[in-house]
Amino acid sequence: AWLKHQVGGFKDKDGFESEVVRHVETTLARSMFNCDESAAYSAAALAFRDRLILEWNRTQQRQTYADSKRVYYLSLEFLMGRALDNAMLNIGQKDVARAGLAELGFRIEDVIEQEHDAALGNGGLGRLAACFLDSLASLNYPAWGYGLRYRYGIFKQEIIDGYQVEVPDYWLDFNPWEFPRHDIAVDIQFYGNVVKSTDESGKTIATWEGGETVKAVAYDMPIPGYATSTTNNLRLWSSKAASGEFDFQKFNSGEYESSVADQQRAETISAVLYPNDNLDRGKELRLKQQYFWVAASLYDIIRRFKKSKRPWEEFPDQVAIQLNDTHPTLAIVELQRILTDLEGLEWDEAWNIVTNTFGYTNHTVLPEALEKWSVPLIQHLLPRHLQIIYDINLEFLQTVERQFPNDRDILGRVSIIEETQPKMIRMAHLAIVGSHKVNGVAELHSDLIKTTIFKDFVEVFGPDKFTNVTNGITPRRWLHQANPRLSGLIAAKTGGHEFLSDLTLLNKLELHVDDKAFRKEWAEIKYANKVRLAKHIKATNGVTVNPSSLFDVQVKRIHEYKRQQMNIFGAIHRYLSLKAMTPEERKKQQPRVSIFGGKAAPGYWMAKQIIHLINNVGAVVNNDKDIGDLLKVIFIEDYNVSKAEMIIPASDLSEHISTAGTEASGTSNMKFVLNGGLIIGTCDGANIEITREIGENNIFLFGNLAEDVEDLRHTHTYGKHTVDPDLARVFEAIESGTFGNQEDFAGMITAVREHGDYYLVSDDFRSYLETHALVDEAYRDQEGWITKCITSVARMGFFSSDRCINEYAEEIWNVEPLKVDDE
Ligand code: 26W
Assign a CATH topology to domain 547-777. Answer: Rossmann fold (3.40.50)
559 alpha carbon, distance to own chain's centre:
15
Q: What is the pLDDT of residues 285-306, one digit of tens each?
A: 999 999 999 999 999 999 999 9
Q: What is the pLDDT of residues 395-422, one digit of tens each?
A: 999 999 999 999 999 999 999 999 999 9
- For the cut 50, the answer to whether the pLDDT of residue 713 exceeds it is yes
Q: What is the pLDDT of residues 18-46, one digit of tens each?
A: 999 999 999 999 999 999 999 999 999 99
Ligand 1 pocket mutation, candidates 76, 125, 324, 365, criterion most atoms within 8 A of CB: 125
Taking CA atoms, 93 is separated from 12, 89, 514, 547, in Å, by 9, 6, 34, 33
Instruction: Look at the alpha carbons of 410, 411, 414, 419 in this order and tell me if their dihedral is positive or negative.
Output: negative
Is the CB–ligand 1 distance for residue 225 below 6 Å?
Answer: no
What does the angle CA 71 – CA 72 – CA 74 come to, to the nearest 5 degrees?
150
- Residue 680 φ/ψ, nearest 5 degrees: -105, 130
Q: Mark whether 556 is an active-site residue.
A: yes
**Per-residue pLDDT, 300:** 98
- For the cut 50, the answer to whether the pLDDT of residue 6 exceeds it is no
The residue whose CA has the least distance to atom 10 of ligand 1 is: 363
**Per-residue pLDDT, 481:** 97
Cis peptide leading into 422, omega within 30 of 0?
A: yes
**Per-residue pLDDT, 3:** 43
Is the CB–ligand 1 distance for residue 475 below 6 Å?
Answer: no
Q: What is the pLDDT of residues 273-289, one digit of tens each?
A: 999 999 999 999 999 99
Ligand 1 pocket mutation, candidates 363, 444, 805, criterion most atoms within 8 A of CB: 363
**Per-residue pLDDT, 9:** 80
- For the cut 90, the answer to whether the pLDDT of residue 177 exceeds it is yes
- Mean local confidence (pLDDT), 357-380: 98
Is the CB–ligand 1 distance for residue 35 below 6 Å?
Answer: no
- The whole-chain average pLDDT of the chain stands at 96
Q: What is the pLDDT of residues 740-755, one digit of tens each?
A: 999 999 999 999 999 9
Q: What is the pLDDT of residues 749-786, one digit of tens each?
A: 999 999 999 999 999 999 999 999 999 999 999 999 99
Task: Say yes or no: domain 67-82+117-471+807-813 is CATH 3.20.20.150.
Answer: no
Q: Is 195 left (phi over 0), alpha (psi -120 to 50) or beta?
A: beta
CB 697 within 8 A of CB 713: no
662 CA distance to ligand 1 middle (Å): 11
**Domain regions of the chain by residue span:** 67-82+117-471+807-813, 547-777
**Per-residue pLDDT, 778:** 98
CB 98 within 8 A of CB 347: no
**Per-residue pLDDT, 246:** 57
CA 142, CA 228: separation in Å to the nearest integer?
Answer: 13
DSSP-assigned beta bridge partners for residue 323 = 74, 360
* Residue of 819, 749, 812 whose CA lies nearest to 73: 812
Q: Mark whether 579 is an active-site residue.
A: no
**Per-residue pLDDT, 5:** 44
Options 235, 643, 671, 772, the catalytic residue: 671
CB 190 within 8 A of CB 379: no
**Per-residue pLDDT, 617:** 98
**Per-residue pLDDT, 2:** 41
278 CA distance to ligand 1 middle (Å): 6
CB 760 within 8 A of CB 716: no
The residue whose CA has the least distance to atom 7 of ligand 1 is: 278
Options 477, 556, 643, 788, the catalytic residue: 556
Is the CB–ligand 1 distance for residue 684 below 6 Å?
Answer: no
**Per-residue pLDDT, 173:** 86
- Mean local confidence (pLDDT), 429-444: 98
CB 269 within 8 A of CB 263: no
- Mean local confidence (pLDDT), 450-454: 97
Q: What is the pLDDT of residues 194-211, one digit of tens each?
A: 999 998 888 889 999 999
CB 709 within 8 A of CB 563: no
Q: Mark whether 281 is an active-site residue.
A: no
Q: What is the pLDDT of residues 532-551, one digit of tens each?
A: 999 999 999 999 999 999 99
Ligand 1 pocket mutation, candidates 78, 131, 278, criterion most atoms within 8 A of CB: 278
- Mean local confidence (pLDDT), 118-131: 98
pLDDT-derived band of residue 244, with 50, 70 and 90 as boundaries?
Answer: low
**Per-residue pLDDT, 822:** 56
Would you mind telling me the total number of residues written for the chain in this entry?
823
Residues in Cβ contact with 403 at an 8 Å cutoff, skipping those fewer than 6 apart: 460
Asked whether this chain's domains 67-82+117-471+807-813 and 547-777 adopt the same fold, the reply is: yes
Q: Mark whether 562 is an active-site residue.
A: yes
Predicted ipTM? 0.98
